[in-house]
Amino acid sequence: MHLRLRKAAWGIITTSLLLGSSIFSPTAFAEERQESLPKIMSSETGEYIIKLKNAAGTRSMSQLGVPDGEVSLVGASREHLLIKLPASREEHVLDGLAQDPNIEYIEPNIRMRKAAEITDPRFEEQWGLQTIQAPQAWESKSSGAKVTVAVIDSGVDYTHPDLVNRVDTRNGYDYVNGDDDPMDDEGHGTHVAGIIAAELNQEGIAGVSGKANVEILPLKVLNKYGEGTMYDVSFAIMDAADLGADVINLSLTGERSNSEPRMMEEAIRYALKKGAVVVAAAGNDADRVERYLPASLPGVIAVSAVDQELELAKFSNYGSGITLAAPGEEILSTFKGGRYAYSSGTSQATPFVSGTVALLKVKEPKLSVDQIKERLIKTAVDLGKKGRDSQYGYGLVNAYQALQYEPPPANLRSIAVTPSKLSLRPAGTQALNVTATYDDRSQANVTDGAVWKSQDETVAKVDKGEVHAIGFGKTKLTASFEGKQTTIPVEVVVSRLESSERRLTMKPDAETDLKIYATYGDKTREEVTPADVIWKSRNEQIATVKEGIVTAHDTGSTSITASYGGKSVTIQVSVKMTKLVADPAEVRMRPFAKTPVTLYAYYGNEREDVTDEAEWKTSNAKLAVVEEGMITTTGIGTATITGTYRGKSVRIRVDTSLRKLTVSDSRLELKEGEDVSPVVTATYPDLSTEEVMQVEWSSSNEKVAVVDEQGKITAIKEGMATITANYGGKRIRITIKVVK
C-alpha cells in the first residue's frame, strides 16, 4: 500500500540526508540532459512534488545535487519526494533540479480546501434525500454485498451514534499527523460521511445508503482548518484503491496551476484502473470548474450543487466539466462531537452522488466504472437547458431511477471464441469462452448457452466449452448461439521430437538408455513413455534397441530411429573406442624407482581401465622397463613407454635425467697433510634429491692435492688445485687452496 511504502522510504531518505553532502550547481546536469523541465510554477505552500524516473529506490537530496540545509524533506515514497524550500532559495534550487535527468517532473504541492462552510447545528427535514428519491431506492432488492466508500477529507468522528457502526477504523489513516487515527477535528469529513451512510437507527438522520451494507473508509488529509495538500490527497486516493474502495468521495478542491497536476492525475488513473468510482466536488467559487481540481481531471464525476428550488446554488462552480448536480444547500448531516449541523456547498452535493453509487454497487457488485457512470447519466433528471449543460451536467442525480434502470435488450451482432484456435497434447484439456457482442457494443459471456460440436471426436471432444484431446490429428469445433456460429480449428500434434542423445559411442556388450521428449502444439514438453515410441535399428548386428534400451554387439556404426506422433528422431550409434589415454601421460622420477601408470579406453563419455589388458613396451630397457603398467627406472636419461590396446597406442615419456649437481663446499682451504670428504647431492626431475657415491673424481694438480675414488681430498703441498666431480653427465668443481 502506498502509505506503507511512504513510511518505509522516510527512514531511508532521512538517513541519507544526514550522511550525504555535495556542492550544488545549477549546471551540474547540463551535459547529461540537453533539455530541462518546463518552467516550474511557484507554490503557495512552499512545497514541491518531485517524481523520480527510477522507481527502484529513493535517492537522497545530496545525490540530487542539493546541499544539506537548502531543502527540507517533508515526505517520500519509492517514486516521489515532497520537499519544502525557503523562499529566498526557491528559484535557484528549482532551476538546478530541473536539469537532473533522473527527475520526471516537479510540480507545486497545491493547497486543498474543504468545499463547504458549516452553519449553526439544528435538526430539520432532510430535503436532499427526497429530491434524489433515496427512500424509494431503499425498497429495491439488494445483493447484500458490502461496499466501501473512501471519504478523503478531514477525517470522520467514528464515535458518532449515527456512524459508529459504519466506519472502518482498522484501515483508516491520518496523513496530516502521520498516524493510524483518522479522527475528525474539523467536522467537514463527518458531515460528508453522514450524508453517505448515516444509519437508519431511529435517531438522528439517514444517509443516502439507507440500510445497505455500506462502510466508510476514513482517510484524513485536511487539518483542523480544513486545509491539506495535493501530495497527501494523491497518496490517499491510491491507498483507497489498494484497500479495495468501491467509491472515492473527494469533497475538496484546489485551484490549478498553469501546469498539469501530474501526481493527482496518476493517482486517479490508478484508482480507476483498480475499479474505484471517483466522485469530486466542483468547488464553491462560482467559477468555471476547469480551474479546479480534482473535479476537472479525466475520469472524475464532477458534481455541482443545487438549492431546494433545483436552481444552481449561487456559490457552485460550473462549466463543461460538470457531470451531475445534487442537493448542496442547507444540508443536514452528522457533525463532530456526536452533533448534527447544516452545511452548504458542493462538498455536500458530492456525497449524494457517492451514496447513490454505493447503492448501485450493493445491488449489482459487478458493475464497472463506465457502467455506473452510464447509469447515473441516463437516469439523471434533466435541469436547465435540455440535454447536458454547463450548470447541471447531465442533470440531477436520482438514486431510485439509477437502481431501477435496466439496459434495453440489444440485437446480437456476432459471437467470438477465445482462444480462436487450439493446439493440444494427448489427453490435454482447454476451456473455451464464447463472447456475444451486441449492437450497443455491450458484451456477454454465453459459453454455457452455446451449442458445441466436433467434426472428428477421435481427435477432440467438446462439452460446454471444455475441449478434451483424444488422439493425434486435426479437427474443427463449432459453437452456435442464437443463430450465430463460429468455428475453431483444433490440432493434437507433436511439433518437435527430441532424444536425450544425438550420438552414442559404445563399447561392445554395453547398454545405454535413450529418453525421448515430445513438444506439443501447445508448447508443453514431456518425456514420452518408451513403450509408446516405435524403435528401429538400421543394423541390428551392430546394435539393437528395445523400449529405449540400446545394446551394442559388434564394432561398427549404425543408427537408431524413434517415432512418435508422426515425428521421428535419429540417433547415430558408433561401437568403437574413441581414444586411449594414459594417466599420467609423462613420468618424472629418480633412477631405480617405481611408479604405476593407468591406461583408460574411452567409448564416448564412458571409460574403462584396460591397464592389465594392454601390451606394454619400452624404448630403452637400460633406462626404464614396464610390466602391466608398473614402470621401473634403471638409469639416468629419458625413455618412452608405449601402451597398446585394440589397435590404439599411447606413449608415456619417462624422464630420470639429472637436473642439478651440488657439493657441500665449493671452496676449501687446507693445510699440508690435511684431508676432507665433500658431500655431492643430485637433484632429479621429480625434484627429489640424494647423496651420490658413484662419482668420478679428478684433480687438476696432484702435486698440490689428490682425491681418491670415495671423494676424499688430501692436501700435499702449498699451492692451488681444482677437484672435479662427475655424475650423470653433470660435473661440479671444488677450488682447493693448500697452505703450510
Concerning whether 188 is annotated as a catalytic residue, the answer is yes
Q: 284-316: buried (b, 16+ CB within 10 Å) or exposed (e) per residue?
A: bbebbbbbbbbbbbebbbbbbbbbeeeebbebb
Sheet holding 433-438, edge to edge: 412-418, 433-438, 443-445
Catalytic residue among 62, 77, 333, 347: 347
Q: 702-712: buried (b, 16+ CB within 10 Å) or exposed (e) per residue?
A: eebbbbeeebe
Q: Distances in Å between the alpha carbon of 26 and those of 21, 82, 96, 355, 413?
A: 16, 20, 4, 51, 62
Catalytic residue among 60, 80, 153, 157: 153
Q: Distances in Å between the alpha carbon of 466 and those of 453, 473, 648?
A: 11, 18, 64
- Amino acid identity, position 85: L
Sheet holding 630-633, edge to edge: 594-596, 630-633, 624-627
Asked if 372 and 361 count as a contact pair (C-beta separation under 8 A), the reply is yes
Report d(CA 434, CA 74) in Å as an integer. Answer: 53
Report d(CA 417, CA 236) in Å as an integer. Answer: 41
* Cross-strand pairs, 303: 281, 324
Query: Where is 489: in which H helix or E strand?
Result: strand 484-492
Query: Where is 2: in which H helix or E strand?
Result: helix 2-19
Asked if 501 and 484 count as a contact pair (C-beta separation under 8 A), the reply is no
Q: Distances in Å between the alpha carbon of 494 and those of 311, 409, 427?
A: 73, 46, 13
Estimate to the nearest angstrom the gap between the alpha carbon of 308 and the chain centroid: 55
* HSE-CB of 377 using CA atoms within 13 angstroms: 15
Name the residue among 235, 247, 146, 271 with its Cα closest to residue 193. 247
Phi and psi of 369, rounded to 5°?
A: -60, -45
Report d(CA 85, CA 83) in Å as an integer. Answer: 7
Q: Distances in Å between the alpha carbon of 561 and those of 433, 516, 526?
A: 41, 11, 19
Q: Distances in Å between the alpha carbon of 70 and those of 11, 17, 96?
A: 20, 11, 12
Report d(CA 430, CA 514) in Å as an integer. Answer: 31
Asked if 271 and 241 count as a contact pair (C-beta separation under 8 A), the reply is yes
Asked if 326 and 102 count as a contact pair (C-beta separation under 8 A), the reply is no
Residue 343 DSSP SS3: strand
Mark out the alpha helices in 332-416 (DSSP H runs).
Answer: 346-363, 369-379, 399-404
Concerning whether 347 is annotated as a catalytic residue, the answer is yes
Catalytic residue among 188, 343, 423, 499: 188
Report d(CA 621, CA 695) in Å as an integer. Answer: 23
Match 454497487 to its residue by C-alpha cell.
361
Report d(CA 261, CA 241) in Å as an integer. Answer: 19
CA angle, corner 75, sides to 69 and 80, nearest 5?
105
Q: What is the end-to-end Cα distance of the chain in Å, rounded?
A: 105
Q: Is the dihedral of CA 614, 617, 621, 624 positive or negative?
A: negative
Estimate to the nearest angstrom the gap between the alpha carbon of 12 and the chain centroid: 22
Concerning whether 307 is annotated as a catalytic residue, the answer is no
Q: 416-449: buried (b, 16+ CB within 10 Å) or exposed (e) per residue?
A: ebeeeebbbbbebebebebebbeeeeeeeebbee
Active site residues: 153, 188, 347
